[in-house]
């Protein structure tokens, strides 16, 4: 754990600024639609409002429902410990640590799905079923893409793989495209899910948390914002140059994350949601891209 301060500062920034990502995306979508959009600090106001409320729990639910949002938040925050930025290693780094990262997110997903099933409602059941289905198909791409990059750089830890890749190599480009697709899938953005629809039949992630309210819902919102930050930082780290001051790299990461958020906003404004049957095809394409990258690297 050398160079401690920049890594922890980065995590602090992530915890502080994550909700801004949602407002950036909302502003860009509003710009595309010719509106002005909500103020940038709106997510913070929403969180504060939610934290001031009481809670209503369904009589069908058990302690799992109350645990779901907490586990989702905690796992995403714990996953931040494994993320490097620029030249600074993550606070916790060891060989094959990206496996732990993926599985921490899966732990959060397990409890979110269980909390959804706990309500005994068919809406949440539908969201849970689709979430489980998409996640099973999206998991291999992340690990295979990072494995390809591992072979390219000859290292096994995220803190050593990510800073040393250069975008000019086509393999990195292929992995970046695949990871961008998976980012959209895991964060429930278009074309996989529509975060602004409130028709239960068309939602995936939103409908899983339908029955949460008050502080629980605040945790859920915050956790999903953190998850978007996590994925954006992962994607940005693919493009960061290896050399440079640690603080400069940190600033570049933050800039990159917001750039990715803008990109997500643009994609959301220009694409419609895919039919449910087409989603596996898109995810398989992402997997194929990482497989091509791996084959090219191993050659």
Partner 1 sequence: MDTLLDRLMLLLILSDLTMLALRRFSAALGLLALQGGLLAALALAAHQPDFTGRAVLLALMGLVLRGVLFPWLLRRTARRAGIVEERRPFVGFVPSLLAGIGLLAAAMAIGARLPIGALPTLGLVVPASLFTVFTGVFLVVARRKALSQCVGYLVLDNGIYGFGVATVGNIPALVELGTLLDALVAVLVMAIAMYRLSEEFDHMNTDQLDTLRG
Partner 2 sequence: MILLVLALAALTASGLVALVTSQHPRLAAFCGAAGPLVAWALALTPALSVLTRGPVLSFECAWPWPFGAVVLGLDALSALFLLVILTLGAVTAVYGVGYMRGARSPLARGVAWISFDLLIAAMFLVVLARHALVFLLAWEAMALTSFLLIAFDCERREVRRAAWTYLVATHLGSVFLLPLFFLLGQPHASFVFSAFGAGLAPGTASICFLLALVAFGTQAGLVPFHVWLPEAHPAAPSHVSALLSGVMIKMGVYGLLRMLTLLGAPPLWWGWLLLGLGGVSALLGILFALAQHDLKRLLAYSSVENLGIVALGLGTGLVGRSVGAEDVAALGLIGALLHVVNHAFFKGLLFLGAGSVLHATGTTEVDELGGLASRQPVTAMAFLVGSVAICGLPPLNGFVGEFLIYWAALAGLVHTPAGAALPLAALVPILATVGGLALACFTKAFGIVFLGQPRSPAAAAAHEAGASMRAGMIVLALACVAIALAAPLLLDPIAWCVAPLAPSAEVVPRAAAVLWQVLLVAAALSGLLLVLALVRRWLLRRREVRSELTWDCGYAAPTSRMQYTGSSFAQPTVDLFASLLRTRKRIAAPDLHFPDAAHLETETRDVSREEIYEPLFEGTERLLKRLRVLQHGRVQIYVLSLVVTLVALLLWQVR
Residues that bind partner 1 (CB under 8 A): 168-171, 280-281, 284-285, 288, 291-292, 295-296, 299
Of partner 2, partner 1, none, which one does residue 285 interact with (CB within 5 to 8 Å by kind)?
A: partner 1
Closer CB to partner 1, 275 or 299, in the complex: 299
Q: Which of 113, 117, 127 is nearest to 58 (CA)?
A: 117
Instruction: Rule CB under 8 A: say whether 200 interacts with partner 2.
Output: yes
* In the complex, least distance from residue 65 CB atom to partner 1, rounded to whole angstroms: 35
Residue 44 interface partner, choices partner 2, partner 1, none, CB cut-off 5-8 Å depending on type: none
Contacts of 164 (CB under 8 A, 6+ apart): 153, 155, 242
The distance of Cα 157 from the centroid of its chain, to the nearest Å, equals 20
Among 15, 31, 210, 266, binds partner 2 (CB under 8 A): 210
Residues constituting the chain: 299
Minimum distance between the CB of residue 269 and partner 2, rounded to whole angstroms?
27
Nearest to 19 by CA among 200, 257, 268: 257
Q: Based on the shown chain and the rule CB under 8 A, indicate whether residue 128 belongs to the binding site for partner 2.
A: yes
CA proximity to 104, closest of 158, 154, 151: 158
Our CB check for partner 2 shows the closer of 82 and 257 to be 82
Q: Please identify, using beta-carbon distances, which residue of 12 and 170 lies nearer to partner 1.
A: 170
The one among 9, 44, 57, 247 contacting partner 2 by CB under 8 A: 57
Looking at the Cβ atoms of 151 and 248, the one nearer to partner 2 is: 151
Residues 138-157 that bind partner 2 (CB under 8 A): 138-144, 147-148, 150-151, 154-156
Beta bridge partners of 85: 88
The answer to whether 270 and 162 have CB atoms below 8 angstroms apart is no
Sign of CA dihedral 15, 89, 99, 165: positive
Residue 288 touches which member of partner 1, partner 2, none, C-beta under 5-8 Å by kind: partner 1
> Which residue has 């599985």 as its token pair?
103
Residues linked to residue 88 through DSSP beta bridges, in sequence order:
85
| Residue 232 CB neighbours (<10 A) | 26
For residues 75 and 290, which CB has a smaller minimum distance to partner 1 in the complex? 290
Q: Any contact of residue 100 with partner 2 (CB under 8 A)?
A: yes
């Amino acid at each position: 754990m050398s160079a401690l301060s920049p890594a922890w500062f980065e995590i602090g920034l992530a915890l502080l600024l994550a909700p801004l990502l949602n407002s950036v995306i909302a502003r860009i979508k509003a710009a595309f639609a010719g509106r002005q959009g909500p103020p940038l600090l709106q997510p913070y106001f929403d969180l504060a409002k939610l934290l001031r409320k009481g809670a209503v729990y369904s009589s069908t639910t058990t302690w799992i429902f109350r645990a779901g949002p907490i586990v989702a938040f905690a796992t995403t925050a714990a996953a931040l410990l494994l993320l490097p930025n620029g030249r600074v290693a993550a606070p916790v780094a060891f060989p094959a640590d990206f496996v732990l990262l993926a599985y921490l997110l899966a732990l959060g997903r397990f409890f979110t799905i269980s909390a959804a099933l706990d309500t005994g409602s068919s809406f949440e059941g539908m969201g849970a079923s689709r979430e489980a289905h998409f996640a099973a198909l999206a998991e291999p791409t992340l690990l295979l893409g990072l494995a390809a990059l591992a072979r390219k750089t000859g290292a096994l830890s995220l803190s050593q793989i990510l800073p040393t890749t250069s975008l000019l190599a086509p393999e990195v480009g292929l992995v970046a495209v695949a990871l961008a697709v998976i980012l959209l899938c895991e964060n429930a953005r278009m074309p996989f899910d529509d975060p602004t629809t409130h028709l239960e039949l068309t939602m995936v992630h939103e409908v899983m948390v339908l029955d949460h309210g008050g502080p629980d819902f605040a945790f859920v919102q915050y956790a999903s914002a953190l998850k978007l930050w996590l994925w954006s930082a992962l994607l940005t780290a693919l493009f960061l140059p290896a050399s440079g001051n640690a603080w400069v790299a940190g600033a570049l990461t933050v800039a990159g994350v917001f750039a990715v958020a803008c990109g997500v906003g643009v994609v959301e404004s220009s694409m419609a949601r895919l039919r449910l049957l087409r989603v596996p095809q898109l995810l398989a394409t992402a997997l194929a891209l990482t497989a091509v990258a791996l084959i090219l690297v191993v050659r």
